[in-house]
Amino acid sequence: MKLYRTSNGNYVEEGGVYFRMPESNWDALVAHEDLSGYLRSVVAGGKPATDFAAARIEAPIVSQEVWAAGVTYYRSRSARMAEAKDAGGGDFYDRVYTAERPELFFKATASRVVGHGGNVRIRSDAKWSVPEPELTLVINPRGQIIGYTVGNDMSSRDIEGENPLYLPQAKVYDGSCALGPCVLVTGEALPATTPIRLEILRGGQAAFRSATTLAELKRAPAQLVSYLFRENAFPAGALLMTGTGIVPPDDFTLLPGDKVSITIDPIGTLENVVVQGGALAAH
């Protein structure tokens, strides 16, 4: 079942049929003691909604913090080592790739997040910007993974590569994170064969296209969550991006107007247009 947060309230979708959720409070849904059971009861007892198509899809976040894991795919380790070579930071990335403790960093609050159809931003003081397509875990306040969404960890590679201590500036700024279009609510782990696909269109033509699978993800989602929740309470729950396994070639940078599409099949496709400067579009 898929849970959508929209301008018209929350909806659950099952088999292509949408039902309006009686619970309008997103935080209450994330904290629900049996979200799957609750959604099943709404689908079983509800009347199909006819107004879903008229609603604007919003990012699946209200009071949750967004955190991210880094260097969880070999491809990311290699890209990070290359970009930080001149700064002498390359070794850190190899060490964190093989260490027991993962790299976890704070990524965003809801105000910095855009949903499906919103504008992601590239920094005006960056010269090398990329999207990072990432499976994103939706976690309740008790540290249980209740579902999955699609995430884009927008990143400024030149700022990150100049000095590893600049990571928060490379990663955390207005419009630096996109999440959506929905939460696939399930207690089951996604199969290792699950593909993650990235496509970047420029002027309607493919400027970059690539794919990976969850088999390339080095760390188990449950292990990432257990580190995130160590000595750290999340009263409203959290979203945890699991890292990127797709890195465009080094001569590629995002430009305003690019359309970024990230597809993780059982969840859906997250589409966003890149902008630079200007105000953050509402999520």
Q: Which residues bind Mg ion (CB under 5 A)?
A: 132, 153, 244
Selected binder of ligand DO4 within 2, 5, 80, 218 (CB under 6 A): 80
- Judged by beta carbon distances under 5 to 8 A according to partner kind, the member of ligand DO4, Mg ion, none in contact with residue 71 is ligand DO4
Using CB under 6 A, pick the residue from 103, 199, 258, 271 that binds ligand DO4. Answer: 103
Asked if 67 and 228 touch (Cβ cutoff 8 Å), the reply is yes
What does 80 bind: Mg ion, ligand DO4, none (CB cut-off 5 to 8 Å by kind)?
A: ligand DO4
Q: Does 71 bind ligand DO4 (CB under 6 A)?
A: yes
Q: Which amino acid is at 35?
A: L
Cα(first)–Cα(last) distance of the chain, in Å?
Answer: 22
Residue nearest to Mg ion (CB): 153
The answer to the question of residue 246 lying near ligand DO4 (CB under 6 A) is no
Computed on alpha carbons and rounded to an integer, the radius of gyration of the chain in Å comes to: 18
Distance from C-alpha of 18 to C-alpha of 47, rounded to nearest angstrom: 9
**Contact flag: residue 133 with ligand DO4 (CB under 6 A):** no
Q: Does 76 bind ligand DO4 (CB under 6 A)?
A: yes
- Closest CB to ligand DO4 among residues 185, 196: 196
Q: Does 237 bind ligand DO4 (CB under 6 A)?
A: no
Contact 74, 140 (CB under 8 A): no
Q: What residues contact residue 219 under an 8 Å CB cut-off, 6+ apart?
A: 69, 72, 102, 242, 243
- Binder among 147, 237, 243, 268 for ligand DO4 (CB under 6 A): 243
Report the residue number, 5 or 121, with the smaller CB distance to ligand DO4: 121
Q: Give which of 47, 45, 38 is closest to 17, Cα–Cα.
A: 47
Helix axes 90-98, 74-83, angle to 10 degrees: 160
Q: Is 132 in the site for ligand DO4 (CB under 6 A)?
A: yes
Using CB distances below 5 to 8 A depending on partner kind, what does residue 156 bind out of Mg ion, ligand DO4, none? none
Cβ-count burial of 32 within 10 angstroms (0-12 exposed, 13-18 middle, 19+ buried)?
middle
3-state secondary structure (DSSP) of residue 15: coil
Residue 83 touches ligand DO4, criterion: CB under 6 A: no
